[in-house]
Amino acid sequence: MKAYALLLALAFPALAQVPYERILHAVSEPASWLTYSGNYNSQRYSTLNQITRTNVERLKVAWMYQVRAHHKVETSALVFDGIMYITEPPSDVTALDLRTGRPIWSYRRSIPAVPVCCGQVNRGVAALDDQLFLGTLDAHLVALDMKTGRVRWDVEVADYKIGNSITLAPLAVKDKIIIGIAGAEYGIRGFLDAYDAKTGKRIWRFWTVPGPGEPGTETWSGDSWMHGGAPTWITGSYDPETNLLYWGTGNPGPNYAGELRKGDNLYSDSLLALDADTGKLKWYFQFTPHDVNDIDANEIPVLLDTTFRGRLRKLVLFGNRNGFYYVLDRMSGEFLHAKQFATQTWALGLDGRGRPIPNPATAPSPEGAVVYPDDDGAANWYSPSYDPQTGFFYQNAREKGAKYYLTEAPYIPGRQYLGASRQSLAGVEPWGALRALDALTGEIKWEFRYPTPPWSGILSTAGGLVFSGDMEGNFFALDAANGKPLWRLQTGGSIVSSPITYSNENKQFVAIAAGSTIVVFTLDK
């Protein structure tokens, strides 16, 4: 690893600390964590195996860093070359020394009053060459000097005043920075953008809601496409062989008032496959046509090459907020398989092509309609993990329903655009579980129960471990094979982030944002 880093240092003397080739080969550099999900395939799996089933009980805190946050800390750190890069709410970046946990520099951004549905959060940066890339709550994309945190360029991606905001970690691909947008709750029109990493110039934009004259516009009644949502607020995946980006999209706007937007509402609640150079749509798969329950497909697409039903296939695996786990062919978008992994009542089932049969009784109504999952979903943005050793897809599942009363949904710029009010279900305690799904069948092989629905991502490692956390503050490790709890620490803060692992000076570390604290663990002596 050191030899490789040295080679790179020699090959790219001035401008190439994290060249594209380094991210491309991230799987052969497990000491680092170079991109949001660890790798372009988004498996959030590490081949590091110093921490194992048998020694994990010796895990202890190596250092902590306390964020000056008044908001949820959802950051997933990047780690390379002796430094950890985290984001802090609302849109700050801090570089931490891996040895001491102490800050080297911080970029602090003043944020105007941005309308946001779900907190002033940020999930991380992207790295490319000698720069870091940050999406900001006020919908800018910023390039920072990796060494100093100084701003290289700062471009407006969209107008925050009408509800556009950026909370996801960008994705660096070749010479471009891919960035999505949030704001469906405010009736934005979604898109995915690519910017030139050197200049900040926009290279392409793919509108996730087709306008007049574009294919798919017929799936929107009247002018409803104008505020059609379909946001792109969690980081997607990339397949360098096909040069395709895989990116999920969120709910159509208004979230619940389907009558205002008759039709399938493409490309909301879909997985998109886009050419990374041009942003052209190769294929799409819409999980939830005409969604009236706010069941975003803003989850992580996990790429896997394996034998499926006797044939070597390039798959994309997707644990969806709507309660179903999907296996698609990622060359064509062909639906191969789906299986329910959590309670859902919005669909009576799926047809042979994966299209749901909606349950009309669960659509919001003036009298109120109960539906599972609620609008926080059976899954959400937090990362799942695929472990090639077990063949399991680890998914944190939320077991929670709610009752929705249909309301008016006038579009007023900068105001919420929903169309229903939510009521909790009396006498029903929501809960959750970390579920190990057979990645090819979706069958639940084991589960680890939570007292309340989780918001933590999952990391699996070659040490035979699965790391995750709960809202009660526990960060823990399970046996990847059978879900047996092996270790935990009460961190004192709800875990609303996804774990990573890395290695430094021949020691493996695991890091998580817990409450307002970044906690880094390693084995004791």
Active centre residues (catalytic): 294
464-483 mask for a copy of itself (x: CB under 8 A)? --------xx----------
Touching a copy of itself, residues 39-78 (CB under 8 A): 57-58, 60-66, 70
To the nearest 5 percent, what fractions of the chain are helix, strand and coil? 10, 40, 50
- Residue 72 or 330: the one with the smaller Cβ distance to a copy of itself is 72
Closest CA to 501 of 465, 470, 459, 469: 459
* Euclidean distance between CA atoms 434 and 469, whole angstroms: 10
Closest CA to 445 of 510, 506, 395: 395
User: Closest separation between CB of residue 428 and a copy of itself, Å?
Assistant: 23
505 binding a copy of itself? (CB under 8 A): no
> Are the beta carbons of 134 and 125 closer than 8 angstroms?
yes
364 binding a copy of itself? (CB under 8 A): no
- Residue 485 or 492: the one with the smaller Cβ distance to a copy of itself is 492
Among 287, 372, 515, 522, binds a copy of itself (CB under 8 A): 515
Among 136, 165, 255, 516, binds a copy of itself (CB under 8 A): 516
- Residue 419 or 499: the one with the smaller Cβ distance to a copy of itself is 499
Label residue 60 exposed, middle or buried (CB < 10 Å: 0-12, 13-18, 19+). Answer: exposed
* Euclidean distance between CA atoms 452 and 87, whole angstroms: 26
> Are the beta carbons of 148 and 105 closer than 8 angstroms?
yes
- Residue 430 or 493: the one with the smaller Cβ distance to a copy of itself is 493
User: Closest separation between CB of residue 62 and a copy of itself, Å?
Assistant: 8
Touching a copy of itself, residues 309-338 (CB under 8 A): none
101 binding a copy of itself? (CB under 8 A): yes
* Euclidean distance between CA atoms 386 and 393, whole angstroms: 5
DSSP state for residue 57 in the 8-state scheme:
G
525 binding a copy of itself? (CB under 8 A): yes
* Euclidean distance between CA atoms 506 and 100, whole angstroms: 16
User: Closest separation between CB of residue 94 and a copy of itself, Å?
Assistant: 11
> Are the beta carbons of 397 and 432 closer than 8 angstroms?
yes
Supply the DSSP string of 239-257, one letter for each residue.
ETTTTEEEEE----SSSS-
453 binding a copy of itself? (CB under 8 A): no
Among 4, 6, 28, 100, binds a copy of itself (CB under 8 A): 100
User: Closest separation between CB of residue 3 and a copy of itself, Å?
Assistant: 30
User: Closest separation between CB of residue 101 and a copy of itself, Å?
Assistant: 5
Among 287, 493, 498, 508, binds a copy of itself (CB under 8 A): 493
Around 390, how many Cα atoms within 13 Å sit in the side-chain half-sphere? 27
**Site residues, a copy of itself (CB under 8 A):** 57-58, 60-66, 70, 100-102, 472-473, 489-493, 514-518, 524-525
